[in-house]
Chains A and B, each alone.
Chain A
């Protein structure tokens, strides 16, 4: 298993509260990603990072922000959670030493916004 740890694994929160999900890797990979999985949509990219303090938006970034202050940690923040953000969130990493490198995923965080 790639060394990726997501925390928490489960979270229930109320609408309007801020939430931060954490992804920690031990592989020293430069690229890190946040995806959400919803029925009928597969996995959709929220934000990604190509290095410390270097981040960019994905296709479903509205309502989310990210930070990467260290190579090993990539944080996803929901500034004010909404019910539409109820989902399973996956962090992924990719080795940039090879152009064709797959993503490796963590085990996910199930977030419920009530």
Chain B
């Protein structure tokens, strides 16, 4: 039973437009949420995070939104660039011993 779900295995977006990646979770104890980007043959790279006391966090082109009542978070990338093409993982944790990851969404940014 997956505690963190990313229901879109893939997403294609035109360069310059907004990319929106979605993530749903089931465990109401999760209080820290993260997004990672992964290129082939490399390890996941930390992008941005948000704690449960906030509903939005911004870092440059990346913004994460958290809706606790819906147990949903999303990552917005504006504007999207070809270099953003990668697999994106959503992760969540409650006790910091275990960070639970979703299955990933493959983003393709088309020139």
A residues lining the B interface (CB < 8 Å): 4, 31, 33, 35, 40-45, 48, 50, 56, 58-59, 90, 92, 94, 99-100, 102-108
Contacts and interface: CB of A to CB of B under 8 A. Distances in A.
Interface string B1-36: 000101000000000000000000000000010101
Contact of B98 (A42, A59, A100): A59
The majority secondary structure among interface residues of chain B is: strand
B67 interface: no
B101 A44 contact: yes
Contact of A48 (B36, B46, B98): B98
A103 B32 CA distance: 12
A81 to B, nearest CB: 22
Contact of A43 (B6, B32, B51, B101): B101
9 contacts: A42-B6, A43-B91, A43-B101, A50-B97, A90-B43, A92-B99, A100-B32, A106-B43, A107-B43
Interface residues of B, number: 24
The majority secondary structure among interface residues of chain A is: strand
A44 B104 CA distance: 12
Interface in B27-61: 32, 34, 36, 41-46, 49, 51
